[in-house]
Each structure stands twice: as C-alpha cells, then as structure tokens.
Amino acid sequence: MVSQAGPDQLRRLLASVLAVGSELDVLTVLDTIVRTSTELVGARYGALGVLDETRTRLVDFLTVGIDDQQRARIGSLPEGHGILGLLIVDPKPLRLPDLTRHPDSFGFPPGHPQMTSFLGVPIAVRGEVFGNLYLCDKTDGEPFDEADVELAVGLASAAGVAIQNARLHATVAEFATIADRERIARDLHDTVIQRLFAVGLSLQTTTRMVEHRDARERLSQAVDDLDTTVRDIRTAIFELHTVQVSAVSLRHRVLDVCAEYGQPLGFEPVVRFAGPIDTAVTESLSDDIIAVVRESLSNVAKHAAASSVEVIVRAGGDGVTVSITDNGVGSACDGRLGRGLANLADRASLHGGSFATSNIEDGGTAAIWAVPLATVD
C-alpha cells in the first residue's frame, strides 16, 4: 500500500499511527487524527468531518489551520455539500490539484481562507464509514501526490481502529459506572432511606409528647421535610438505576449525542431524564428523539452563541416530551421554522404530537417536542 512512500514518510506514518492509537477518549482521538494527518502530508489545512447516523451529512467538523477568529467569520459549520459531499456520496480517496476547478465546487463562504489543492479520504469503523478526512494546500506549495494519498489512507485505516478502541474503552468504563450507580442506589435505599424513616417515626412520637405549640409545629415541619427528602432520594435512586447497556438504550444515545456536541458548543449540555425512558419509548420513537436532540443542538451551536444548554427527556403516562433550552441570543424567525426544524415538526406530527420553539424572556430559546405515548406503535 505504501510502495511509493519514502523511508522518512514511512517513519512519520508509523509515528502518526502510534500517536493516534495511544489515545482512549473518542474526542481526543478525533482531534489527534486530524492534527497528525495534517502534519504527516505537510498540509496547511486539515479537517475531520463526522457523519450523522444516516451517513448523508456532517454533524461535526474538527479543523486545523484555521484560528478562532476565522472560524467565527466563516459562521456555520459545513454539512457536506460541494467538494466535501463527494466523499459522502462516493467514499473513496479523492485528490484534486485545484478544487476550485471542479464542477461540484461551491466556492468559499465569506471569511474562509482560499484553498487550492485537495486530498480527501474516508475513515471507516468496522466496515462502515464514520467520517472523512479533508486536507488542503501543502506547505511547500506543491499539489498532493500518490505518496500523500497512500500515507493518508494508511493513517485513516489506523484511525478507524483507534476510534473503535476508544469506543470500546468508553463502554467498559460505562459498565464500571453502572455498577457504581447500582451500588449507590442500593446503599441509598437500604441504609439512608431506612434511617430517615426511623428518624421521622421518632420525631412523630416526640411531637405527641411536646406541649409547646411552636415546638410541635417545628417538629411537624421537620417530619414533612424528611418526607420530602425521602421522595427526592427515591427519585435519585430511579435515575441511578440503569438498564443493561445496549445500542438501543435511549439514555445512552442521548448522552452520546450531547457529548458529541461538547466541542462545537464549547461546553457539554446538561442532560436530565424523568420517567421510564428506556422501557416506555419504542426504538422507532427513540430515533426521532435522537434526531430532535441532534438538530436542536446543531442549531444552538450554529446560531445561539449560548454558554449553557439543558436537554430534558421526560416519559410518562401522557407521553414523551423533549425540551432543549439555551441562554443564547434567541431566535429572530418570529415562529417560522427552518428546514431542519420543520422536519422535526413533521416527525412530531406523524406521532400525533407537536413541536414549537419560542424565545425565553430572560434570553435564549426553548424548543419543545412532545408526542403522546398512546399513538406510538
């Protein structure tokens, strides 16, 4: 595969493979991939685009060679149109001496640096395309050659293994976390709640023995507070109990998506669950909920300039509600929905539900997607 690469290039490839394979966190792996690949072929600019679950558009885009000010001037992250979309449609290495001359070139948005030579290779994980590696403009001014293609393909192969390894590591860590949660839940139920019950009963008995009215009222209030505390602990126990980890766990999928958007947002969203999320929600409805969370977070990352986001997924007897609120600049669309949000409204309508966005009085936007469970197949 690397017959055209020289000894120095092979040594750099080996060093790059070792660098990529040494990381265990998925986001760190992705960042290392794009940085090492850019250095490996001597590119001025590099990017790694992560595909969504349908493998038709980009949902994340990591870059090298573009500073924060340039990124802010460019605006929205690319979704995979033009030259970037060629690898999505046909996932195989693509080398262009001048990308601006390609018929699919859309040109560059305002603020984007001009780029000429292009090299793109897909990254596959377990036989499925995970994303694409994009490299532009060699620092020596020469176009990319076949040796560069071989080096990039070699690193992309190692990158796929590294991503899979990082995912497995995260799964193992999650099993440990779930075991800890179950242990804490047992301790709360078997020890803390029982002690609070005992204290509450003791206070109730003491209340009947106290003649001073104010003291009796204070003791009664203390008993009520203990009851409230017990209810709060029971809620915490419910949240700690987790079903077996699997690909169809909605909690797991929502947390994954929110973690995925930590980088484009600049922070990880706060995530809350209420009710039997993994038992009451069907797999098909889970797919719609993931689409709601993903599209909403994408909008926040692109337009809101927010510093915090809260994602709440509730499931109960009346239905399922997904709410995403941010503290950003708010929406200027006067209730009109763009194409992506209109799709979410259509998804809700198919289940007999609704979707709406609104500005928050103190600043920010709230998006609420709700469907009745009774209509879910």
pLDDT in tens, 193-227: 777 777 777 777 777 777 778 877 877 887 777 77
What is the DSSP secondary-structure string of 20-42? HHT--SHHHHHHHHHHHHHHHHT
Checking if the pLDDT of 97 tops 80, the result is yes
pLDDT at 377: 42
Where do the domains of the chain lie? 7-170, 171-240, 250-375
What is the Cα gyration radius of the chain?
26
pLDDT in tens, 228-247: 777 777 766 766 664 444 44
Average pLDDT of the residues of the chain: 80
36: left (phi over 0), alpha (psi -120 to 50) or beta: alpha
H/E stretch holding 94 reads: strand 94-96
pLDDT at 29: 80
C-beta of residue 297 within 8 angstroms of C-beta of residue 256: no
pLDDT at 5: 52
Q: What band does 46 get if pLDDT is binned at 50, 70 and 90?
A: very high
pLDDT in tens, 124-178: 887 888 889 999 999 999 999 998 998 888 888 888 877 877 776 666 666 656 6
Q: Which residues contact 26 (CB under 8 A, 6 or more apart)?
A: 163, 166, 167, 170
Mean pLDDT computed over 36-64: 87
The rounded distance, in Å, linking the Cα atoms of 318 and 309 is 25
- Selected residue with higher pLDDT from 44 and 128: 44
CATH superfamily of 7-170: GAF domain (3.30.450.40)
Percent over 70 (pLDDT), the chain: 82
CATH no., domain 250-375 = 3.30.565.10
The rounded distance, in Å, linking the Cα atoms of 91 and 294 is 24
Q: What band does 1 get if pLDDT is binned at 50, 70 and 90?
A: very low
pTM score of the predicted model: 0.48
- Selected residue with higher pLDDT from 172 and 29: 29
* Top mean-pLDDT range of 42-51, 78-87, 353-362: 42-51
Checking if the pLDDT of 64 tops 70, the result is yes
Of the listed ranges 70-74, 279-283, 298-302, 338-342, the one predicted with least confidence: 338-342
C-beta of residue 188 within 8 angstroms of C-beta of residue 236: yes
pLDDT at 197: 75
Of the listed ranges 80-89, 135-144, 169-178, 325-334, the one predicted with least confidence: 169-178
